[in-house]
Amino acid sequence: MGLNIGGKIEKINGKELSYEQFVERYLKKNQPILLTGLMDGWKACDDWVNENGEPNLHFFSAHFGDSKVQEYPTYVPYTTPTFFLDDWLNLYLDSHHMHSDPNLHNEKAEINCSDYRFVYMGAKGTWTPLHADVFRSYSWSANVCGKKQWHFLSPSQWHLLFDRNMKSSVYDIFDDVSETQFPGFKKAIWLECTQEQNEIIFVPSGWYHQVHNQEDTISINHNWFNAYNLSWVWNLLLKDYKEAKEYIDDIRDICDDFEGLCQRNLAANTGMNFFDFFIFITLFSFANLTQLHHLCKGHENPILVSSGKVRHLITNLISIRKVALNMKSFEAFTVENLSSFLVENCSPLSDIRKFLEESKFIELCVALNRTYGMIDDQRKQSSEVKDTSTSICTKDCLLLNYLKPDFGYLDFSEACGSKVSGPKDLIRIIDYTFAKLSGMGNDWSTDLLTELNQHEMSVL
Ligand SMILES: O=C(O)CCC(=O)C(=O)O
């Protein structure tokens, strides 16, 4: 049965696209795009490819053949293009674990290899079955060599891929898909794309896709999410949670801790549960709030003031606030459930002061500051505004100087006490900060907040 192809993915030169354009056209609208011109100078493009354009397997065996772990801090084969830098998932996983099983005690001794950055190698003819990405994240995939054929289906049509019970989806779109089992499949309208060497494809959230290697291919790939697709992650968790709950509903009455069991199953199936996600958004909010605080105090330190950065941080907090609003009614977040989870897992949220002092939290703040500094630099370059601020490294040092142990604690504790006990506290802290920011009376922050808040939320 032939596929119904509705069109091709647009291809554009990434060097001619500004960061804002990428956000407006592709991140916010959740649309795929093929980008050229973004892999100049990548070591991978020299080291991993033979002169005839095929994979240089000799290089891999000579340099990494004896590897037991994936740690090569001094070998940097690629640099993430600026468009994809605002990656909360991997920024967080560089310093924290997403899910910690309290029954496993040896975790500290293990090397943390759990990020979402991959290298795919596939011989001609190999393929990846139909799927939508983990956590409903975005992904980007850069072809270092070879050629891939992609088929995409927009999220508005995902139901056409499922069986009558909406349980399992088609595995191979080129198979002889049974019309009885998958009655909608024939109606699906696909987008296709041939990705050549040195081209990067942006895969939006929730788009099902199937990928075929038309030549021996090596690609570099990240899964990521940020303010623009955070709600996709929460919606997937919610859907998977409801399924996990339904699945064991018949043992609810004989279960001591039914909610706990649902959450354990959710983590096993989806890679994180409600608590992991809540801890993640809370720590991420605190890292954003900490920076916002620095930047706004920046009147004494004008070198740190940058309204592009502030806009970015506020956008992040508004998106987290929206998700937290959706979370707050769930059983998992009743004070009892959350408290017992926090204690059981020695969660950082049970003692704000302690976690603000933790080196891994400071690492997250520094990484975030560096990232938004780089994005801001690109923004300034593309709008041809001369950047007179200090280099990113200097900004890191300045930020570090400001991260005194009790920094921000008083502000946070004023809003919620010494611990975060659920989504309501998180909302309260964000609102409190926004209210303070508006009250600072400087023109740019007031204008920015008014503009951002107009359609997004009501301020306190
Ligand atoms: O390259 C592949 O085979 C799969 C890549 C993929 O599914 C993705 O980037 O989301």
Q: Which of 207, 224, 241 is the last residue of a domain?
A: 224
Q: Which of 34, 35, 121, 128 to mutate to test the pocket of ligand 1 (most atoms within 8 A of CB)?
A: 128
Q: What are phi and psi of 384, to 5 degrees?
A: 55, 30
- Cα–ligand 1 centroid distance for 273 (angstroms): 24
Neighbours of 18 (CB within 10 A): 15
- Bridge-based pairing of strands 189-195 and 4-8 is parallel
Residue 339 sits in the same domain as residue 433: yes
Residue 216 sits in the same domain as residue 361: no
Task: Count CA within 13 A, CB hemisphere, residue 209.
Answer: 27
The CATH number that applies at residue 95 is: 2.60.120.650
141 lines ligand 1 (CB under 6 A): yes
Residue 152 sits in the same domain as residue 77: yes
- Bridge-based pairing of strands 33-36 and 4-8 is unpaired
Q: What pTM value is reported for the model?
A: 0.89
Q: Which of 219, 223, 224, 229 to mutate to test the pocket of ligand 1 (most atoms within 8 A of CB)?
A: 219
Measured from the CA of 126, which atom of ligand 1 is nearest?
3
Q: Which of 196, 224, 252 is the last residue of a domain?
A: 224
Measured from the CA of 120, which atom of ligand 1 is nearest?
1
Residue 257 sits in the same domain as residue 283: yes
377 lines ligand 1 (CB under 6 A): no
Residue 130 sits in the same domain as residue 244: no
pLDDT in tens, the chain (460 residues): 589 999 999 999 999 999 999 999 999 999 999 999 999 999 999 999 999 999 999 999 999 999 887 788 899 999 999 999 999 999 999 988 888 766 554 444 444 457 899 999 999 999 999 999 999 999 999 999 999 999 999 999 999 999 999 989 999 999 999 999 999 999 999 999 999 999 999 999 999 999 999 999 999 999 999 999 999 999 999 999 999 999 999 999 998 888 889 989 999 999 999 989 999 999 999 999 888 877 776 544 433 445 688 888 989 999 999 999 999 887 777 766 766 666 666 666 777 777 778 889 999 999 999 999 999 988 888 765 444 444 433 444 444 444 443 345 556 667 667 778 888 888 988 888 877 776 655 555 555 556 555 545 443 3
- Cα–ligand 1 centroid distance for 211 (angstroms): 6
H or E, element range at 193: strand 189-195
Q: Which of 9, 89, 139, 153 to mutate to test the pocket of ligand 1 (most atoms within 8 A of CB)?
A: 139
Residue 239 sits in the same domain as residue 203: no
Alpha-carbon gap, residue 264 to 63, rounded angstroms: 40
Counting the structural domains of the chain, the total is 2
Residue 267 sits in the same domain as residue 289: yes
Q: Which of 202, 224, 246 is the last residue of a domain?
A: 224
Q: Which amino acid is at 32?
A: P
Residue 161 sits in the same domain as residue 262: no
Find the domain containing 130 and state its range: 4-224
Residue 288 sits in the same domain as residue 397: yes
Residue 219 sits in the same domain as residue 234: no
Alpha-carbon gap, residue 296 to 293, rounded angstroms: 5
Residue 182 sits in the same domain as residue 303: no
